[in-house]
Structure 1
Amino acid sequence: MYLRKTNCAVQSALESQAAVVLLGPRQVGKTTLAMRIAELQPSVYLDLERDSDRQVLTEPDLYLDEQTGKLVILDEVQQMPGLFKSLRGQIDMRRRKGLRTGQFLLLGSASNVLLQQSAESLAGRVRYIEMPPLMLDEVGDDQINRLWLRGGFPDSFQAETEKSSMDWREDFLRTYLERDIPALGPRIPATTLRRFWTMLAHAQGGLLNAAALAEGLGVSGQTIGRYLDLLVDLMLVRRLQPWHENVGKRLVRSPKIFVKDSGLVHTLLGLGTTEALLGHPVVGGSWEGFCIEALIDAAPSGTQPFFYRTSAGAELDLVLRLPGHETWAIEIKRTTTPKVTRGFHLAAEDIAAERRLLVYAGGHEIPMTQGIRAIPLASATDLLRNLS
């Protein structure tokens, strides 16, 4: 069992806010974390996917009045959007009684839906925290290849064998496609959405080409946009936006698309072993996406991630605009002999980057010229976490 960094973030937030919304895909560990917090104080837990628990909240104010003084944990809270108005009233009533913090912990696995619902009713009363899958500093540097291959969902990472890990991820995908996504409302054939998801995995880290995806699936570009919005909302896909601040440069304007968990990429492509992965064309894109998720997670709250590419060939895999507007230029290479291209230097000059990093697959820092640091992923994430 690994100690999740999100645990400390949630406990800290509950000490200063009346309500905390914990976001993350299913099976990432939100409920386990909530139960650990519940052990530390008087608490009540309801899973709003269960009919019996929803029945308890038929008259929400009557029930919640009885729970005053306890931490109320509501799992899959987006299942009852009408509840947020009652939560606002409860928070305000408790404030008048002097109870200002640690009242509600809300768990959800559909970010945009939940953000819209809660923002309308709980503005100024809630803090949002996103829980990612397991990250490198939670499992240890020596586990990097296992984490890359299996991904960070705890049950997948901790499985006894590569086959059992792969089987878990197959079940995870099937459950999302056949149960979880239909429960949100969209009527999309599971086979169609699986094909779409697999097409994204094949193009891991590539520019969004909606026309090609539409042609491959036999649907409209508008439908592709709807499918993509759904997977982004479920926190399963990242849409990395292009840097857009250089006037006079011809910049690429399409986003880059990543399946966020590397283990899901490999399952969608049938890659169950390290040997199979290293021999597959997706290996570079998979490593890039794996590193990008780790770097974004390690960056201080409020950091904005982008990529940079011009029509002339200047390119950066990741640009981080940190709070305070310091800008980092990052190149990612699946190699043990790191080198950067002239395009990296040009791009770093274009955005006036204060720091220039080459994240590579080796185990120690390698001296480079022109202010570039070539460092392992673990060292790069340490640099970012030390800024927080």
Structure 2
Amino acid sequence: MIERRLHGSVLEHLQQFPAVALLGPRQAGKTTLAEMIRADKPDSVYLDLESPADRAKLIDPESYLARFEDELVILDEVQRVPELFQPLRGLIDRARRRGVANGRFLLLGSASGDLLRQSGESLAGRIAYLELPPFQVSEIEQGLHDQLWVRGGFPDSFLASGDRQSQIWRRNLISTYLERDIPSYGTRVPAETLLRFWTMLAHNQAGLLNVSQLARNLMLDTKTVNRYLDLLSDLFLVRRLLPWHANVGKRLVKAPRTFIRDSGLVHALLSIGTLDDLLGHPVVGGSWEGFVVENLLNAAPFNTAAGFYRTGGGAEIDLVMEVPGAGLWAVEIKRGVEARPRRGFYRACEDLQPDKRFMVYPGSDRYSIGDGVEAIGLSLLVSDLLATAT
């Protein structure tokens, strides 16, 4: 069993809030983490809302759940029953009046948009939100980081007995999303079209989003392409990194960059099975950059503002983060062990004047490379970010 970094944070938030929503993609480990928490609370109740039998118990949710006022209730795939949030509010408020304040409900969800809106309207001030991504470098020993990059962080993929078995699992996950999960959210998207769209995003990993070009390639209108992108973002499968806006008097790139959030899904979509296959593939640079960005943003403290900086003149920073209490960080991402930042990175730093300047490379040390820039391994920079939150 791999200890999840979010475990302690979930327990801390349950002590502070009546309800905690644990969000993340399907198969990222939310249920396993909930079972670990449940092991410390043997009287807790678990309901899987994808199960007709468990949903039937909630025909009258207030009467059923009122029986467990002194126990933790875990509701899995809670976005399947949106009408549940209003009764939860009544249960929480009644329990508060009786002195049972916090730690009442742990809600697990694999789609963010509707769940955040529905729960925010009904449970404002009563709920905290945490996101559980697939495994990250902070949870895996250093010697397995290349395996994590190639296979991605979904537990069943990362822990598979071999690369082939891992790739088969990821392909099946993609098929499950296309054929079952996405249609279940009421979205009528042809599976073949969505797979082509998803694959195009994989080829363009870490690149600028060009909706018009995607629409032409798919023979769709731009409104439909944006709807597909919103859907994959809502399911925690795609990240849009927005441009960093700064008043520098220069023409800035306005299009976001897109990343498939799990590197293993990138490789499955492109039929990349092994590290050797990946190192010889044109997507290797974009894949590494997405892997680094995802790990850094998942390690960044709450309320960190992030984006990328690029001007029409070629000044560019791969990742800009305004870290609460630690200032502005500029991050250049390079795959080569002996790589150096590009000239555009230094020009961008002249524009933004960041407090810290890093170049992430695939090593395990940190050292100065001059001009205020520190070369640093990914796990070390992740540790720096985690330290700012303590």
Q: Secondary structure at the match of 2:16?
A: coil
In structure 1, C-alpha distance between the alignment counterparts of 2:345 and 2:144, rounded to whole Å: 30
Residue 52 of structure 1 corresponds to 53
Q: Which digits, 9 at most, give the CA deviation of each residue in 1:290-349, with x for residues without a partner?
A: 000111111111111100000000000000111247110000000110211221111112
The CA RMSD over aligned residues, in Å, is 0.9
Deviation of 1:195 after TM superposition, in Å, equals 0.5
Q: Secondary structure at the match of 1:146?
A: helix
Deviation of 1:245 after TM superposition, in Å, equals 2.2
In structure 2, C-alpha distance between the alignment counterparts of 1:272 and 1:365, rounded to whole Å: 30
Amino acid at match of 1:54: R
- Work out whether residues 364 and 380 of structure 2, in 8 Å CA contact, stay in contact via their aligned partners in 1: no
Paired residues for 1:233-272 under 5 Å: 233-272=234-273
Deviation of 1:247 after TM superposition, in Å, equals 4.4
Q: Secondary structure at the match of 2:82?
A: coil
Q: Secondary structure at the match of 1:49?
A: coil
Residue 209 of structure 2 corresponds to 208
In structure 2, C-alpha distance between the alignment counterparts of 1:83 and 1:367, rounded to whole Å: 54
Q: Which digits, 9 at most, give the CA deviation of each residue in 1:129-161, with x for residues without a partner?
A: 000110112111111110000000000000001
- Work out whether residues 303 and 321 of structure 1, in 8 Å CA contact, stay in contact via their aligned partners in 2: yes
Deviation of 1:364 after TM superposition, in Å, equals 1.9
In structure 2, C-alpha distance between the alignment counterparts of 1:127 and 1:308, rounded to whole Å: 31
Residue 7 of structure 2 corresponds to 7
In structure 2, C-alpha distance between the alignment counterparts of 1:106 and 1:40, rounded to whole Å: 17
In structure 2, C-alpha distance between the alignment counterparts of 1:382 and 1:324, rounded to whole Å: 16
Residue 32 of structure 2 corresponds to 32
Q: TM-score, normalised by structure 2?
A: 0.98
Paired residues for 1:192-341 under 5 Å: 192-324=193-325, 326-341=327-342
Alignment partner of 1:145 is 2:142: no
Residue 183 of structure 2 corresponds to 182
Q: TM-score, normalised by structure 1?
A: 0.99
- Work out whether residues 205 and 257 of structure 1, in 8 Å CA contact, stay in contact via their aligned partners in 2: yes
Q: Secondary structure at the match of 2:320?
A: strand
- Work out whether residues 326 and 388 of structure 2, in 8 Å CA contact, stay in contact via their aligned partners in 1: no
Deviation of 1:382 after TM superposition, in Å, equals 1.2
Amino acid at match of 1:6: L
Q: Which digits, 9 at most, give the CA deviation of each residue in 1:153-193, with x for residues without a partner?
A: 00000000110000000010000100000000100011110
- Uncovered stretches (5+) of structure 2, i.e. residues with no partner: none
- Work out whether residues 246 and 350 of structure 1, in 8 Å CA contact, stay in contact via their aligned partners in 2: no
Residue 172 of structure 2 corresponds to 171
Deviation of 1:251 after TM superposition, in Å, equals 0.5
Amino acid at match of 1:262: S
- Work out whether residues 207 and 257 of structure 1, in 8 Å CA contact, stay in contact via their aligned partners in 2: yes
Alignment partner of 1:97 is 2:98: yes
Residue 18 of structure 1 corresponds to 18
- Work out whether residues 79 and 115 of structure 2, in 8 Å CA contact, stay in contact via their aligned partners in 1: yes
Amino acid at match of 1:207: L
Deviation of 1:97 after TM superposition, in Å, equals 0.5
Q: Which moved more, 1:336-345 or 1:232-241?
A: 336-345
In structure 1, C-alpha distance between the alignment counterparts of 2:162 and 2:324, rounded to whole Å: 42
Residue 222 and residue 325 in structure 1: after superposition, are their counterparts in 2 closer, same or farther (change >3 A)? farther
Amino acid at match of 2:19: A
Q: Which moved more, 1:373-382 or 1:317-326?
A: 317-326
Amino acid at match of 2:204: A
Q: Secondary structure at the match of 2:379?
A: helix
Amino acid at match of 2:12: S
Amino acid at match of 1:228: L
In structure 2, C-alpha distance between the alignment counterparts of 1:79 and 1:137, rounded to whole Å: 31
What is the aligned length? 388
Paired residues for 1:116-131 under 5 Å: 116-131=117-132
Q: Secondary structure at the match of 1:252?
A: coil
Q: Secondary structure at the match of 1:188?
A: coil
- Uncovered stretches (5+) of structure 1, i.e. residues with no partner: none
